[in-house]
């Protein structure tokens, strides 16, 4: 009995540490994406490609990630606040208990540095559908392979 409790405690501790590590990785990915958004003036195809590639590099499946942004659907003016939120279902495994998922998420913010007429003005704003849908669609080619969305 006490051996079982010890294993349960240890595996729960490992799962908790893995979850914290995954949350830190999501925070870094969201920071990079929202900084790129601040230059582009919003959520564009290049921002989405960076997001997909960074998720893959950190071992996340981009198809499971949920992304929401503000502002959504239009270009942010210089000085306007913007945010990007990534939510991801993180699997938790505990001895003798069925695996289950816990949602981890991170929201990062930035200020738009977009200047009309800059090179970023050629990138159209795309609008993530929001929570509950997969907005990481399309094809991304990278050095470590490729990802094709739904």
Residue 69 φ/ψ, nearest 5 degrees: -135, 155
The residue among 51, 68, 137 whose CA lies nearest residue 107 is 68
In terms of phi and psi (left: phi > 0; alpha: psi -120 to 50; beta: otherwise), the region of 116 is beta
Residue-level pLDDT, tens digit, the chain, 150 residues: 565 555 445 555 555 567 788 999 999 999 999 999 999 999 999 999 999 999 999 999 998 999 999 998 888 989 999 999 999 998 876 655 667 788 899 999 999 998 887 776 678 888 664 433 444 544 343 333 333 333
What is the distance between the alpha carbons of residues 106 and 51, in angstroms, rounded to a whole number? 13
Q: What angle do CA 2, 18, 50 make, to 5 degrees?
A: 170
Q: Tally the domains of the chain.
A: 1
The residue among 20, 9, 17 whose CA lies nearest residue 97 is 9
Residue 49 belongs to domain spanning: 2-148
Residue 9 φ/ψ, nearest 5 degrees: -65, -45
Q: How many CB atoms lie within 10 A of CB 58?
A: 14
């Amino acid at each position: 009995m006490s051996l079982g409790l010890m294993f349960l405690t240890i595996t729960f501790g490992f799962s908790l540490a893995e979850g914290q590590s995954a949350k830190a990785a999501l925070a870094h990915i969201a920071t990079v994406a929202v900084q790129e958004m601040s230059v582009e003036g919003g959520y564009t195809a290049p921002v989405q490609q960076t997001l997909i590639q960074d998720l893959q590099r950190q071992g996340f499946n981009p198809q499971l990630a949920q992304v929401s942004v503000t502002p959504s659907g239009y270009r942010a003016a210089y000085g306007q606040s913007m945010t990007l939120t990534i939510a991801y279902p993180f699997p938790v495994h505990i001895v003798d208990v069925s695996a289950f998922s816990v949602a981890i998420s991170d929201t990062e913010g930035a200020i738009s540095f977009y200047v009309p007429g800059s090179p970023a003005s050629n990138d159209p704003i795309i609008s993530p559908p929001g929570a509950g849908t997969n907005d990481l669609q399309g094809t991304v080619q990278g050095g470590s392979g490729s990802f094709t969305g739904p």
